[in-house]
Structure 1
């Protein structure tokens, strides 16, 4: 492949990481502080983003049989990621150095993913087909990953996670999009420009919101745990994805989408979930921030070197 390929991917990723940096700087150094970005995150998460997912799935006819190999590879990769994360306290050489409570809150960082960055990249890497495939992957993996994230913390929470999963706007947007696609529904021509602009706004604001949520400072303690979960997220999962793409005999576009999916930064909402369930949210926020930075290396690694 040569040296130029990773550089090209790094250039491709640059605009998205520039938006993340803009969000960070605007939040830290202007009057548009954290309280503003909390509202932006809610707008993107509950309205703009589900509309984008719905549109991405509806606008192209979907052959579930054709996408079944990618769906199978994505789900198996997710199960492997969850298993690796859960196993950390039981490993003989590092388990003794990991606090079980910190691990319960942080395990999710190893396998959850930033959907905003996923959608922004898929469109540029593989066009409308890539956007459709990543939307389908998000749809089938979000329920699995949310269960995987909540389960270790559930013994300290008084709320049923099944109810939370059923109310998840990403699941609602994806499920309704899949149903509409399979029933042959298409967005009316007169409505398309509005829906397209909502989608574009969701990507830009979502990336900036990811930057606004970044914070470091609490990672000095529990370094073993931090290195372990981030190592799974940014090194092991891309290698797993490469093996699965060959095992499932994925075509070039599906392989690109799976590798992109495997190397994404973790979900920016990890720290919200941890804090809401009574755990150390600031530590998880530090992991999310570091994961966002590491994504600048792991995405070119997966898409340029491995591919």
Structure 2
């Protein structure tokens, strides 16, 4: 079990970048207009390169990773089920607006890929990045479907088309195909890919901080309490149970627990806004989730781990 000093050392580099991103966006000329373009660069180029390189640089044994994949998929399905069930919870459901819930449910189970990858590397080195990349590959389609589905009836966005064109999914499955065929990236190209990967983590964490908004955090308190309790309390507890059920080794269990407690995806508010829902409210939830990650990650990795 890691002590509190180790947790401070583990989390400080990533959360300090989030804080820097927030301060730079709010108090300098590098405002949201700049960071929106940075998010596009990370999402469509830098981050897919990192995922591809993380998967291809070490041989992957799907038999060995199958337990982690199974646990990750079950964790994702559990989070989606709990999020969808919120309007039907006695007493709590009466205070939840169904339309607001459709836009905010995704906060309960989605995750910030930038933070997850950075933490996995600190927890288990190159193997940690490989394991989290595999989890991302199998869970991003599931989570995207779970996020879009409640909003789809109010939008003309094609769910299948959005998944097929997702750059993270394309990069992940391309990396898996290359790895399983026994191919390797040429040595002369590795330094370039490594630098791109490092840039994606730094810029992605800065962009997550730049996207934080505090103005709408007090709206819909019952829904806010519900989705954030699932994300930062119930998901880590489910992850612990699944780690034991699937008999994961220490590195796999640590990655799954970190995966479960990572703050929600910073792009959640973009998806909600683009599909006609309350983007500012979801942005407030993302901000709260990022802050709560300072407590839920030590809880998952220290108390439960």
Give the TM-score of the pair, scaled to structure 1: 0.98
Assess if the C-alpha contact under 8 Å between 1:52 and 1:198 holds in 2.
Answer: yes
The equivalent residue for 1:114 is: 112
Looking at structure 2, the residues matched to 289 and 219 of structure 1 have their Cα atoms a distance apart, in angstroms, of 8
Looking at structure 1, the residues matched to 8 and 223 of structure 2 have their Cα atoms a distance apart, in angstroms, of 28
What are the equivalent positions in structure 2 for 1:214-229 lying under 5 Å apart? 214-229=212-227
Looking at structure 2, the residues matched to 232 and 11 of structure 1 have their Cα atoms a distance apart, in angstroms, of 26
The equivalent residue for 1:85 is: 83
Say yes or no: does 1:134 pair with 2:160: no
CA shift at 1:159, angstroms?
1.8
The equivalent residue for 1:212 is: 210
The equivalent residue for 2:171 is: 173
Instruction: Return the match for 1:124 from 103, 122, 125.
Output: 122
Unaligned runs of 5+ in 2: none
Looking at structure 1, the residues matched to 164 and 5 of structure 2 have their Cα atoms a distance apart, in angstroms, of 41
Looking at structure 2, the residues matched to 7 and 156 of structure 1 have their Cα atoms a distance apart, in angstroms, of 48
Looking at structure 1, the residues matched to 220 and 140 of structure 2 have their Cα atoms a distance apart, in angstroms, of 27
Instruction: Return the match for 1:191 from 182, 189, 192.
Output: 189
CA shift at 1:11, angstroms?
2.1
The equivalent residue for 2:96 is: 98
Say yes or no: does 1:259 pair with 2:244: no
Looking at structure 2, the residues matched to 293 and 212 of structure 1 have their Cα atoms a distance apart, in angstroms, of 13
CA shift at 1:299, angstroms?
0.5
Secondary structure (helix, strand or coil) at the match of 1:156 reads coil
Assess if the C-alpha contact under 8 Å between 2:219 and 2:281 holds in 1.
Answer: no
Unaligned runs of 5+ in 1: none
Looking at structure 2, the residues matched to 9 and 169 of structure 1 have their Cα atoms a distance apart, in angstroms, of 32
Looking at structure 1, the residues matched to 155 and 282 of structure 2 have their Cα atoms a distance apart, in angstroms, of 17
Stretches of 4+ moved more than 3 A in 1? Answer: none
Assess if the C-alpha contact under 8 Å between 1:5 and 1:305 holds in 2.
Answer: no
Say yes or no: does 1:60 pair with 2:58: yes
* Count of matched residue pairs: 305
CA shift at 1:6, angstroms?
3.5
CA RMSD of aligned residues (A): 0.8
Say yes or no: does 1:298 pair with 2:271: no
